[in-house]
Amino acid sequence: MAPTRLGELMKRFKNNVIRAGLGALYFTGAHHALRPIFAGVGTIFVLHHVRPPRDDGFQPNHHLEVTPDFLRATLGYLRASRTDIVSLDEAHRRLAEQDFSRRFACLTLDDGYRDNRDFALPLFREFEAPFTVYVTSDFAQGIGRLWWVALERLIAKTERIELSIDGVEERIDTAGDAAKQAAFERLHRWVRAMSGDDEVAREVSALCARYGIDDLAISRELCMPWDELRAFAEDPLVTIGAHGITHSNLAKQSEVIAKHEITYSRKCIEAALQRPTEHLAYPYGDKAAAGAREFALAQKAGFKTAVTTRPGMVFAENAGHLTALPRLSLNGNYQDERLLPVLTSGAATAMWNGFRRIDAA
């Protein structure tokens, strides 16, 4: 079987397994029985883009976006279920004081995209719901590289890509949506395996330049610059958090560089917005990008909370691990209102985590 076809089938298989698992919990009603055990005391949701749906057949980053309608449905469900939608400051207080008389939910959005202001903010205002946007300072500065978007755009406009990977010249078919998806997954793995930001910038920028993609222009197009963030942050519902300088895999950096990414991004935001920045989201945030060393660095830097992308609900025990908090993804591939009770029951993340309540190692 051709590698492109195999990659497409594996991606589809993974999504189908997750969708089937969520569907099975919904249709059997098992999540109702599991909720008292695995729902915890609250949920921190993670989103990225909030914008109207696109018609493109090739959308490899679709999991990073939800529609305004789905966000509205989520906020409506939380209100109807008598869940308090709170700021991260309030969530921190409840954890520190062990105040769990009511369940809480926090809404967090990573990177600092303009659509967070244009499409998400009106919905948060409609529901009077506080939320946090974690800003990558280089994106706000207009010099950051959203390499995953650059790869999507590069692959979308080509029918074949030629490049050297680990010293081997490769020709990658990108003709047709299935081949484009497989090519994206191949190049995504290639970039995530790189040792540091310098290598990512050098290799991805060179590839983009070869095919007429200005990768530096993407952050200026999609992300709020400092002047827009200053106006955005004036809204009382908005909390601005830090998300690193370059959006790098911190676990692959030296301790000196990782510490600089965490602390200097905070200084940049505080200087630009003239307000304290007390909450952090690790870039990528999975186990391969944030672990015990990064959790300790965030704690030493004085952040009240720091969030991962490790899936999970918030339990009382998370009060002892405030810089290793889990989040629950509102994933663009599973925008189904019926699944919201399943997701917030904690049943799915409990199975994902082998029924461990805390994953902070």
- Please write the tens of the pLDDT for every residue from 32-70: 667 877 889 999 999 999 999 999 899 999 999 999 999
35/106 same-domain check: yes
Contact 46, 330 (CB under 8 A): yes
46/193 same-domain check: no
Contact 57, 152 (CB under 8 A): no
Could you tell me if residue 257 is inside a domain?
A: yes
Instruction: Give the span between the Cα atoms of 163 and 168, in whole angstroms.
Output: 8
98 φ/ψ sector (left φ>0, alpha ψ -120 to 50, else beta) = left
Could you tell me if residue 357 is inside a domain?
A: no
Contact 272, 249 (CB under 8 A): no
Quick one: pLDDT at residue 12? 46
Measured in degrees and rounded to the nearest 5, phi and psi for residue 169 equal -75, 130
Instruction: Give the span between the Cα atoms of 297 and 303, in whole angstroms.
Output: 9
With tokens 């997750």, the residue in question is: 18
Could you tell me if residue 18 is inside a domain?
A: yes
Instruction: Give the span between the Cα atoms of 329 and 92, in whole angstroms.
Output: 20
Three-state DSSP state, 56? coil
Domain that holds residue 153: 147-216
The first and second tokens of residue 150, run together, are 């650059």
128/263 same-domain check: yes
Quick one: pLDDT at residue 37? 79
133/244 same-domain check: yes
The tens digit of pLDDT for each residue in 186-197 reads 999 999 988 788
| The one-letter amino acid at 248 | S
68/191 same-domain check: no
242/152 same-domain check: no
Kindly give, in sequence order, each residue whose CB lies less than 8 Å from that of residue 351, ignoring residues fewer than 6 positions away: 21
Could you tell me if residue 203 is inside a domain?
A: yes
With tokens 């663009």, the residue in question is: 332
Three-state DSSP state, 200? helix
* Number of residues assigned to the chain: 361
Instruction: Give the span between the Cα atoms of 147 and 143, in whole angstroms.
Output: 12
Predicted TM-score (pTM) of the model is 0.92
Instruction: Give the span between the Cα atoms of 189 and 202, in whole angstroms.
Output: 16
C-beta atoms surrounding 216 within 10 Å:
16
Could you tell me if residue 297 is inside a domain?
A: yes
285/303 same-domain check: yes
Quick one: pLDDT at residue 26? 57
167/254 same-domain check: no
Domain end position, chosen among 190, 216, 242: 216
14/137 same-domain check: yes
Could you tell me if residue 267 is inside a domain?
A: yes
Contact 49, 115 (CB under 8 A): yes
Domain end position, chosen among 195, 216, 237: 216
286/227 same-domain check: yes
Among candidates 107, 119, 145, which has minimal Cα distance to 283? 145
Among candidates 277, 287, 274, which has minimal Cα distance to 243? 277
Could you tell me where the DSSP H helices lie in the chain?
A: 3-28, 30-38, 68-80, 88-97, 114-115, 121-126, 137-141, 147-156, 177-192, 197-210, 215-222, 226-233, 255-273, 292-300, 340-345, 347-352
Contact 208, 260 (CB under 8 A): no
Three-state DSSP state, 7? helix
Could you tell me if residue 358 is inside a domain?
A: no
For the chain, residues with pLDDT lower than 50 are 1-17
Three-state DSSP state, 111? strand
How many domains in the chain?
A: 2
Domain end position, chosen among 156, 184, 216: 216
The CATH number of whichever domain residue 227 belongs to comes to: 3.20.20.370
22/109 same-domain check: yes
Question: Which residues does residue 42 pair with via DSSP β-bridges, in sequence order?
Answer: 104, 314
59/183 same-domain check: no
Quick one: pLDDT at residue 20? 58
Contact 222, 172 (CB under 8 A): no
Could you tell me if residue 360 is inside a domain?
A: no
